[in-house]
Chains A and B, each alone.
Chain A
Amino acid sequence: MDEKLKPFVPNPVMGGLLGLCPLVAAADSFADGAVIGLGAALSALALGALLPLLRGVLPQRLRSPVAFILAASLAALYSVGVEAYSPTLASGLGLYLPLTAVNCIIIATLRHSLRDEGSPFPWLLPTAAGYLLVALLLSGLREFLGTGTLTLPSPGSPSAIVFTQVPPLRLLIAPAGGFMLLGCFAALYRFVLRIRGRRIP
């Protein structure tokens, strides 16, 4: 089959601009990006596995509120897990850990899983992996260029590898830098899609 005609799932962040909120504001170090990306991806996959089971058990009008309570419970569980793993990371991320419950990836998973009869995984797996990948790349590059370090999400207090004492682009660790770098990522993504002859989302 011609590659141009093959169906593909666009990257949720660079194609659909979904789940931007924690990426631009909180993912200013590699460790933060890893925690945010992993939280959204794991919650989305867990919801994708659990929600099809609800379709057969709950009446239509109860599915949506119950699914959202399930998403909020997963976010609370993840917050507690991160707090236990590394209190420094949890306090640095602040309100963005409970906000996982309303991340656009999670809301899209809720809608997709409750609406369609089939398995959500053909759409969900590339979406969750794409979100995690962008979170890692964006946060790693922001930290590397913004502070000259790379913080690893180790237990307790995160450890930082220092590359340079003179950070080249300090602006990148601010939300303004997050928006700008994401804009460059989105442009690069469109450029690659155009070269491959794909439809741009």
Chain B
Amino acid sequence: MSYLSIVLTSVFSANALLVYGLGACPAFRREGRKPFVSIVSLVVVNLFASGVFWAFRVLALAPLHLEALEAIVYAVVVAPLIKYLARALVASESPFLSRVGTSVDESALSCLVFGLALLIARRGYSLPEALLASLASAIGYWAAIVLLDAIRERLELSALPESFKGKPALLLSAGLMAMAFMGMDTVFVKTIAG
């Protein structure tokens, strides 16, 4: 797969939120997200977790046929390292990095971070490919939640049946968005990007 193909696949046809459902719970919650802090923290935590997990899976778990221990390796090695990274960022003097650190700390136990690390490590990528896929997946997830936030604002102003107001309407909208993202399927991406 070419690098462009990896990026397009990770953002569209294998979007973390709309195709794999990863990080769905926080995406549908109303949170006062700061767009720049959220994209930086998503990229930092996913690059870090995917890199570390890729190394452990490819260099230790797969050669020893211990793939069943993936969840334990994440809990024992990757999650504590994310916590240390978050503490280092929070302790920095920059208020921006401190906010990023707080966000990174909250995402150590999220299914988005573990799910993406698992997904990318299982695809058989090399390390640069894995890091690129992780970066593109984080951007794809961020784009999806920004779109969902925009849709939520429009839905609040719309005349909907009482039972559909709020989360149900947002879930239906996410379904329509997922259809649009899946339209750019893997075969199409491979045809245009190699």
Residues of A within 8 A of B (CB): 17-26, 65, 68-69, 71-73, 75-76, 79-80, 83, 94-95, 98-104, 107, 171, 174-180, 182-184, 186-188, 190-191, 194
A75 and B164 contact, Cβ closer than 8 Å, known pairs A19-B25, A180-B175 = no
Assembled-state Cα–Cα distance A187/B169 (Å):
8
Chain B positions within 8 Å of A178 at CB level: 21, 175
Given contacts A76-B71, A190-B163, contact A98 B169 (CB under 8 A): no
Interface residues of chain B, those whose CB is within 8 Å of chain A, are 18-25, 28-29, 68-72, 74-76, 79-80, 109-111, 114-115, 118-119, 122, 161-164, 167-172, 174-176, 178-179, 182
* Other 12 A-B pairs with CB < 8 A, given A68-B109, A183-B169: A25-B19, A25-B20, A79-B71, A95-B118, A99-B118, A102-B111, A175-B19, A175-B178, A176-B175, A176-B178, A178-B21, A179-B18
Cβ of A194 and Cβ of B29 under 8 Å apart? Answer: no
Label chain A's interface by main secondary structure. Answer: helix
Q: A20: which of B21, B164, B169 is its contact (CB, 8 Å)? A: B21
Write the chain A residue with the least CB distance to B113.
A102
Q: Chain B contacts of A171 at CB under 8 A?
A: 179
Q: List 20 A-B contacts (CB under 8 A).
A: A21-B21, A21-B22, A25-B21, A68-B75, A68-B79, A69-B72, A69-B76, A71-B75, A76-B69, A99-B114, A101-B75, A101-B114, A102-B114, A107-B109, A175-B20, A176-B18, A177-B175, A178-B175, A179-B18, A183-B170
Most interface-central of A23, A76, A99 (chain B CB within 10 A): A99
Q: How far is the CA of A54 from the CA of B130 in the complex (A)?
A: 38
Q: Is B80 touching A17 in the complex (CB atoms < 8 A)?
A: no
